[in-house]
Amino acid sequence: MSFTLPGQIPHPTKAFIYVESAHSRRALKRLFDGFAEAARRLGQSNRRGSIGTENVEVVVPLPEPTVFQALSMNGDVSEWRAAVIEYAQHEGLLTAAVHGNFFVLSDCRQVPVSDCAVARYSHV
């Protein structure tokens, strides 16, 4: 890997989360629409800040290769994170975070970052 993954080094104003998702404009739109709906279900109408893509995807070698999109959050990070997790659980998707040199999944599996395929992209 030739660069640091979002979240591998703490950022002063952003938090990062990874969500299982295909790499396409349609898949990302569905994610963001789902996050907004989950936030409404959680009663989060006054969130500050934003959530967006970091234009990084990580392919994790689980029994089947699984693609995750890197997302960044700022402002009401705990509320954004809750909405992402609510949506992912509702849809049966995994979430993940980077802890040091490990990609830690929401089902408690840990995969060394060095075992993952990582790619940056400029747009979908």
- Label residues 54-84 b or e (16+ Cβ within 10 Å = b): bebbbebeeeeebbbbbbbbeebbebbbbbb
| pTM of the predicted protein model | 0.89
Q: Is the pLDDT of residue 89 over 60?
A: yes
Reported as a pLDDT band with limits 50, 70 and 90, residue 14 is very high
Q: Is a pLDDT exceeding 60 seen at residue 1?
A: no
With CA atoms as reference, report the closest residue to 60 among 28, 124, 107: 107
- Per-domain residue ranges of the chain: 15-120
Residues 30-37: what's their mean pLDDT? 90
The CATH number of the structural domain formed by 15-120 is 3.30.70
**Tokens describing residue 19:** 């969500």
| pLDDT tens-digit map of 67-84 | 999 999 998 888 889 999
Nearest CA to 71 among 94, 86, 55, 82? 55
